[in-house]
Structure 1
Amino acid sequence: MKKEQDSISNMEMSRRGFLKRTVLAGAAICIAPTFEKVTAAEKAINGKSVVPAKIPAILATVRETRTLGDGNAAFTVSAMGFGCMGLNHHRSQSPDEKACIRLVREAIERGVTLFDTAESYGYHKNEILIGKALNGYTSRVFVSSKFGHKFVNGVQVKTEEDSSPANIRRVCENSLRNLGVETLGLFYQHRSDPNTPVEVVAETIKELIKEGKILHWGMCEVNADTIRRAHIVCPLTAIQSEYHFMHRTVEESVLPVCEELGIGFVPYSPLNRGFLGGMINEYTMFDPTNDNRQTLPRFQPNAIRQNMRIVEILNAFGRTRGITPAQVALAWLMNKKPYIVPIPGTTKLSHLEENLRASGILFTPEEMKELENAIAAIPVVGSRYDALQESKVQK
């Protein structure tokens, strides 16, 4: 009996060894192609191409690029970017600094070239963290930051915005210093400032572009009229607004004007602050000291419980295709328009890999319609912001 068990055990070990060798051999043969094309923006910065190390095909990577903007405003980046806010701001417990730096650098090695941060994410803290992570890698990537919120002695004045030329320049200089770069890839107006005409903002940005301090610019959560007015003065490269299955308002007028004017679109919170990934439920506890979700109507227990029906649809759709709810949500965005570059964020390598794999998923028009019809039949419960934050979003 013992000999028989030993024989079976040896056969199983041999089988495992064979499978392991097969996988490793396949990885050695199937090497991903390297990025050989240099974007115009890269040439403007350093005049040379920086080719990442070859990546085994079995690893999750983003292998395609997309172009935000048109003409002189064109900006070629990886088809999926990385939202950096959650590394240490508004997303409950964060990994230590070294772990965050390792994750950002892993994203770079996996082909991500666009990293998104802002002055207001912990008031300089997120920018400083990203500056450390990108040290030694700045010739391979682009970083975007934002201006426009008003701060007094490091504390945000939540009832006011400040896009005065003096503040725009101050924030730009701070961001360059914090990030350790000579030029910002994208510089966004975080929220519109009713006290500063958009034409004045655009003119200031035009000057910063001439001075070589930024390559391109964009605006966040603005309406079609503001986009048109700003674009006349200084062509916009991208609009950044919330966009996902549970918030599709931009489809009404913002996306059409982006398409008309040749402006790219960068959806933030493409997984609805993690909800569409299926890992949040009504019992989830958010850190009261570092998570804004606890204050949002849509993340109250009753709303979460009712909105889970949407996640169930994504899960059912993905299960028959071997993909996760998060991948369904991200792939849907990327299949909507070729000028859309989502920027999901994460603190975990496993989620980074999950997100990046979504960049290679294609849906047929029939699948897109099936998804949209199923989800449109379910009313979304709860507003995405509280009244004050919602008042800062242009309609």
Structure 2
Amino acid sequence: MHERSLGPPRVPVSALGLGCMGMSDFYGPRDDAQSIATIHRAVDLGVTFFDTADMYGPYTNERLVGQALAPYRDHVLIATKFGIVRDLTDPTKRRIDGTPEYVKASCDGSLQRLGVDHIDLYYQHRVAPGTPIEETVGAMADLVHAGKVRFIGLSEASAATIRRAHAVHPIAALQSEYSLWSRDIEDDIIPTCRELGITVVPYSPLGRGFLTGAIRRVEDLAEDDFRRRSPRFQGANFAKNLELVDAVAAMAQDRGCTPAQLALAWVLAQGDDMVPIPGTRSIARLEENVAAADVHLDDADLARLASISPKDKVAGERYTPDGMAFVNR
């Protein structure tokens, strides 16, 4: 596995991480035994960067990841997130909390569920509208000083918020959706991260599975799969986005790789400061994704992909209006 760095302070991590959300939530039925086997295979393949959050489950994914990685704790980096609070009686209801008291209580809960004495990378999952970012990051900095957290990050934050946060305490990573069909962070957020030396961690680099070409109908998704409610998977949007998928698949065939590998190789080619975290519960998909690190795209390839997938090609927003209200804040 190729390595990149998380920084500041430039800690080595595998060029591809593993997003673990779908192992416990949002993408249909769970299978913990299969997911643990997939995590173990990821370690075998050289993956050292694993991503979870307290709201996945809620809470169950942190326990799963902690259990699976316990034998390898000294050789991996575990990232988790706080800030999205789900109603335990109705997990579809949620609010955003960034108060210092909540930050510290959430960290203690995550440490317990993960079964670790420190969190390697602790993100604010979404920027809280009611709390100044300086207060939230100040509490996160306290966790670093207490030895409970090594590095801190933000997720779906705007360039202005990143600058304000970084002035309080160095931000090691920004996690945001980024792929061939989600490019809204290119104009000012990625340049800001590069100016400040912050690693970008793209989640959903495969367009929530759409760019793999495996999803041909919305009926291919489980009844409780949240993508059934995603604007990009709806009606005319779905049909239009299939055109992009088919164009990517045709190019992948020409290049002798899979559509997923081509899509991941494109993200990796955007800069050495990109560490994408494709998620999967399948060992076969994991092995396919990891092999993308060996797919080299030259200038002609990148130009062809630029023509196939310009910024405005995708149809539909990333989230419903309620979800979009809390991205790039």
Deviation at 1:366? Answer: 2.5
The residue matched to 1:247 in structure 2 has which SS?
coil
Write out per-residue CA displacement over residues 332-378 of structure 1, whole angstroms, 9 at most, x where no aligned residue. 00011101000001111111111000012111123212211222287
Asked if 1:98 corresponds to 2:30, the answer is no
Corresponding position of 1:184: 119
Q: Distance in 1 between matches of 2:125 and 2:77?
A: 18
Asked if 1:300 corresponds to 2:234, the answer is yes
Give the percent of matched residue pairs that are identical in Structure 1 and Structure 2: 39
Corresponding position of 1:359: 293
Corresponding position of 1:84: 20
Structure of larger gyration radius: 1
The residue matched to 2:255 in structure 1 has which SS?
coil
Q: Within 5 A, what are the aligned runs for 1:189-268?
A: 189-268=124-203
Q: Within 5 A, what are the aligned runs for 1:1-395?
A: 63-70=1-8, 73-94=9-30, 96-153=31-88, 158=93, 160-289=95-224, 291-376=225-310, 379-394=313-328
Q: For the Cα contact (< 8 Å) 1:149–1:156, is it kept in 2?
A: no
Write out per-residue CA displacement over residues 210-264 of structure 1, whole angstroms, 9 at most, x where no aligned residue. 1111110111111100000000110000000000111101101010001111000
Write out per-residue CA displacement over residues 246-285 of structure 1, whole angstroms, 9 at most, x where no aligned residue. 1101101010001111000000000011000000012534
Q: For the Cα contact (< 8 Å) 1:75–1:237, is it kept in 2?
A: no
Deviation at 1:206? Answer: 1.0
- CA change 1:210–1:299 in 2 (3 A) is same
Q: Distance in 1 between matches of 2:210 and 2:83?
A: 28
Q: Distance in 2 between matches of 1:281 and 1:369?
A: 26
Q: Distance in 2 between matches of 1:377 and 1:170?
A: 40
Deviates more, 1:371-380 or 1:267-276: 371-380
Q: Distance in 2 between matches of 1:379 and 1:334?
A: 20
Q: Distance in 2 between matches of 1:301 and 1:229?
A: 40
Deviation at 1:156? Answer: 5.1
Write out per-residue CA displacement over residues 134-189 of structure 1, whole angstroms, 9 at most, x where no aligned residue. 12111111110001113455655846311111111111111111111111111010
Q: For the Cα contact (< 8 Å) 2:231–2:320, is it kept in 1?
A: yes
Amino acid at match of 2:132: P
The residue matched to 1:139 in structure 2 has which SS?
helix
Q: Distance in 1 between matches of 2:35 and 2:314?
A: 33
Q: For the Cα contact (< 8 Å) 1:296–1:385, is it kept in 2?
A: yes
5+ residue gaps in structure 2? none
- State the number of aligned residues: 329
Amino acid at match of 1:179: L
Q: Distance in 2 between matches of 1:333 and 1:157?
A: 31
- CA change 1:152–1:306 in 2 (3 A) is closer
Q: For the Cα contact (< 8 Å) 1:306–1:381, is it kept in 2?
A: yes
Deviates more, 1:370-379 or 1:348-357: 370-379
Q: For the Cα contact (< 8 Å) 2:138–2:168, is it kept in 1?
A: yes
Q: What is the TM-score with the length of structure 1 in the denominator?
A: 0.80
Deviation at 1:202? Answer: 1.3
Write out per-residue CA displacement over residues 277-326 of structure 1, whole angstroms, 9 at most, x where no aligned residue. 0000125343233x211111111243222211111121111112210110
Q: For the Cα contact (< 8 Å) 1:282–1:301, is it kept in 2?
A: no
Write out per-residue CA displacement over residues 60-114 of structure 1, whole angstroms, 9 at most, x where no aligned residue. xxx21111223xx3332111000000112111133x2222111101101110001
Amino acid at match of 2:13: V
Amino acid at match of 2:222: D
Kindly indicate whether structure 1 or structure 2 has the higher relative contact order, using CA contacts under 8 Å at least 6 residues apart. Answer: 2
Q: What is the TM-score with the length of structure 2 in the denominator?
A: 0.96
